[in-house]
Structure 1
Amino acid sequence: MVRRHCQHILAQLPGHRMLALDVLRGLTITAMILVNNPGSWSYVYAPLRHAEWHGWTVTDLIFPFFIVIVGISIQLSLAKPTLTNSAFNKIEQLKQGLIRSAKLYVLGLFLVLFYYNFRDVNYSYIEQKLMTLRAFGVLQRIAVVYFFSLVIALYCGTRGRIFAAIGLTIIYLAAMYKLPYQSEYGTEFVGLFEFGNSFAAWLDHTILGASHVYYRSATPFAFDPEGLWSTLPAIVSCISGLLIAQWLQADRTLVAKVRGLALFGVVAVWIAEFWHYGLPINKSLWTPSFVLLSSGYCALALAACIWLCDIKRYRLWSAPFIVFGANAILFFMFAGVAARALGMISIGESSLHSWLYNTIYQPLFGDYNGSLAFALSFLALSYILMYSCYKRGYIFKV
């Protein structure tokens, strides 16, 4: 039955689709939802947590994978035969890209605002949500990165894209290392990469304000892990996706493509790990060493998917991830709304989320396994909805 189900999914795939990319997108969004929805944040296995500051875990690679995949998708979409390189056509594509970015940004704000604490009679939505609206987040970063990467993709060739990546990296590092900044007490800092104390943190604190970022209690500067300055190297991550897609589009055998991706991945990860001793690998600051590390591992993951799905033709295992990847934005939105709804619905003095974990999952499986089982159950229920959409051909596009 499971085999037939998977075969049916694979049979629906259009012939021109790059299966490995769809699978990698699905794996990435599945991992993102898994780590975002534990039964209890107090009981999460170490690989499913983000690094506390410098360094990395597998979880830290999920978001940059998605950014790299966005770059790959941009390049593949520009290669469609219906598109021309005329100036007018580029302007039209920029307009469409701007609209798409605006929609993504608004969807991100919707998830930020979609919450109300019904258990607190003193809760003020205006004061505690609207007045402290977080300006940035996952979808908001994707929106900004997508648009600027689209501009680079439309107006820069291979050399221009490489120069853009190098230029953005130099600008980011020059400010992080050389630009002095002051706290409200007049203390001057320069060249720091500490939690709440870096040029990036100071910029977020100064422009966005302490009440509109994720780490509001960070000192001396509140900041956002998807903040302003760290967006520059995030664009570089997306440019790496453009270059990876160009490699895949070149006239060479699949085996040669896999070898090239694997070589790039190994070299990038190797350089990043050595660079870590001078420039820390840090997701919240999105340091260039983190860009190299995550882009390298993404290339390795894509090479593995191509080798398994397109060379060895081992495809049945990939079917569920194709379903999730086909509707990645819808899946992300559904998961965000559902998770918030579980937190808003009350059963007695606790939320439905807490009640389910404490009443069912923790007694049956224990603390950590119960928390993981909750996340897996969330994925299973999500799959039912996502498969229903996939079967009907409904793809949510922005």
Structure 2
Amino acid sequence: MKKRIESVDILRGITICAMILVNTPGTWSAVYPPLLHAEWHGLTPTDLIFPFFLFIVGISIFFAYKYKNPSKNIYKKIAIRSLKLIGLGLFLNLFIPYFPFLKDFETLRFLGVLQRIGIVFFISAILYLHFNWRVLAGITVSILIIYWVLLGFISMPNGTLPTFNRAPNNWAMYIDSNILGKHMWQPDYDPEGLLSTIPSIASCLIGVLIGTLLDQLKNVKPLLLISLVFLVLGYTLNVWFPINKAIWSSSFVLATSGWATLILAGIYYLVDIKNIKFGGVFKYVGMNAITIYFLSSFISKTFYLTKVSETENIHSFLFKNMYAQSFFSTEFSSLLYAITVVVFYVLLGYILFKKKIFIKV
């Protein structure tokens, strides 16, 4: 975009920092509840992070392709970017810091965060190139309704009624188990599974629609109204289709889109309308978001897998010797470790920004 909307970069940076914060506690045995995902149904602040990022991907799609027309060259660029994201995700799942650098293929997890971003980006970008905002809105609504009907009302192959609970007769879990088999995050389901990727496309398309609105905004009132509508719809639908990140329920899409729109409205008002210098530190991270997320995941995994003794890895050694010995509680020490990691990547983002290094994935 010729003139960047800074609030989008800031929200993207906040989201990446939040991802790193919740993914790298000092110890998983001592984490404050808001920094954990809901066990199944429900919504914690941590559950907001991934849908926020897909929402921002949608906004970015609008501004990146609003002057583009469908062509072989555009399709090629979209496909290459999607494959890069999927490839990086598979690399993280394959990687161990010892020869031969590969996990056993029989239990390799096929899906993950970056893989879902790649798939969602590809489908959403293609849809945006071919349809106007009204059709995209219709597709989004259709996805949410059809997904609800499938998971809530269509009988399983054995004739039993479906459920939204963590059980074999949950359609999302059933499809993942039968298609992916052992290639999942958990033996019975994958939070970035196949069927639940479909409603995650709706999260991204809502971002595309919000991007369309941002391009014409003169005040934040429309954003505030839309956020209220999404939140009311999401929490109302929760009565019949529980808010659930693991299966990316339709109510989850609506509620998280409502929170994303509301927070974006607040940042947009302060930064882009009132020109208040706010959140610039997050903008540095937001402009190299995927690169910083990938590096944080790669380094964190390396720290966990590299032993410094028979009982300790680099991660546990650093936490034990630099944080766990303090007079703070274990939970707070664990949080301090995570905050230190976030500060490191914020500094990295600042250095990349100052050197005008922007790595496009």
Q: Quick check: 1:377 aligned with 2:340?
A: yes
SS at structure 2 position matched to 1:245:
helix
Residues in 1 aligned to 2:154 and 2:29: alpha-carbon distance in whole angstroms: 38
Contact (CA 8 Å) 1:323, 1:390: kept in 2 or not?
yes
Contact (CA 8 Å) 1:22, 1:322: kept in 2 or not?
yes
Structure 1 ranges of 4+ moved more than 6 A: none
Aligned residue runs from structure 1 range 190-339, under 5 A = 190-197=161-168, 198-209=170-181, 211-216=182-187, 222-250=188-216, 252-253=217-218, 255=219, 258-315=220-277, 317-339=278-300
SS at structure 2 position matched to 1:382:
helix
Q: Quick check: 1:363 aligned with 2:325?
A: yes
Residues in 1 aligned to 2:287 and 2:353: alpha-carbon distance in whole angstroms: 8
Deviations 1:292-314 (A, max 9, x none): 00111110011011111122322
Residues in 2 aligned to 1:330 and 1:168: alpha-carbon distance in whole angstroms: 31
Shift of 1:116: 4.6
Q: Quick check: 1:17 aligned with 2:1?
A: no
Deviations 1:349-379 (A, max 9, x none): 2101111112221111330111001001111
Residues in 2 aligned to 1:130 and 1:352: alpha-carbon distance in whole angstroms: 26
Q: Which residue of 2 aligns with 1:112?
A: 93
Shift of 1:62: 0.5
Which of the two has higher C-alpha Rg? 1
Q: Tell me the matched-pair count.
A: 358
Give the partner amino acid of 2:27: S
Q: Quick check: 1:150 aligned with 2:125?
A: yes
Residues in 1 aligned to 2:316 and 2:160: alpha-carbon distance in whole angstroms: 43
Deviations 1:329-368 (A, max 9, x none): 1101110111011112222221011111122211113301
Shift of 1:129: 3.6
Contact (CA 8 Å) 1:39, 1:372: kept in 2 or not?
yes
Give the partner amino acid of 1:341: T
Shift of 1:204: 0.3
Shift of 1:95: 1.8
Shift of 1:386: 2.3
Contact (CA 8 Å) 1:90, 1:154: kept in 2 or not?
no
Contact (CA 8 Å) 2:145, 2:250: kept in 1 or not?
no
Contact (CA 8 Å) 1:94, 1:150: kept in 2 or not?
no
Aligned residues: CA RMSD: 1.8
Q: Quick check: 1:76 aligned with 2:70?
A: no
Residues in 2 aligned to 1:278 and 1:170: alpha-carbon distance in whole angstroms: 12
Give the partner amino acid of 1:191: P
Q: Which residue of 2 aligns with 1:172?
A: 147
Give the partner amino acid of 1:193: F
Contact (CA 8 Å) 1:265, 1:295: kept in 2 or not?
yes
Contact (CA 8 Å) 1:98, 1:147: kept in 2 or not?
yes
Give the partner amino acid of 1:361: Y
Residues in 2 aligned to 1:93 and 1:295: alpha-carbon distance in whole angstroms: 28
Give the partner amino acid of 1:104: L
Contact (CA 8 Å) 2:231, 2:259: kept in 1 or not?
yes
SS at structure 1 position matched to 2:26:
coil
Shift of 1:174: 2.7
Residues in 2 aligned to 1:129 and 1:330: alpha-carbon distance in whole angstroms: 26
Contact (CA 8 Å) 2:304, 2:313: kept in 1 or not?
yes
Residues in 1 aligned to 2:353 and 2:95: alpha-carbon distance in whole angstroms: 26
Question: What are structure 2's unaligned runs of at least 5 residues?
Answer: none
Question: What are structure 1's unaligned runs of at least 5 residues?
Answer: 1-13, 119-123, 217-221
Shift of 1:125: 7.0
Shift of 1:245: 0.8
Deviations 1:64-90 (A, max 9, x none): 00001011100111224xx3x3xxx43
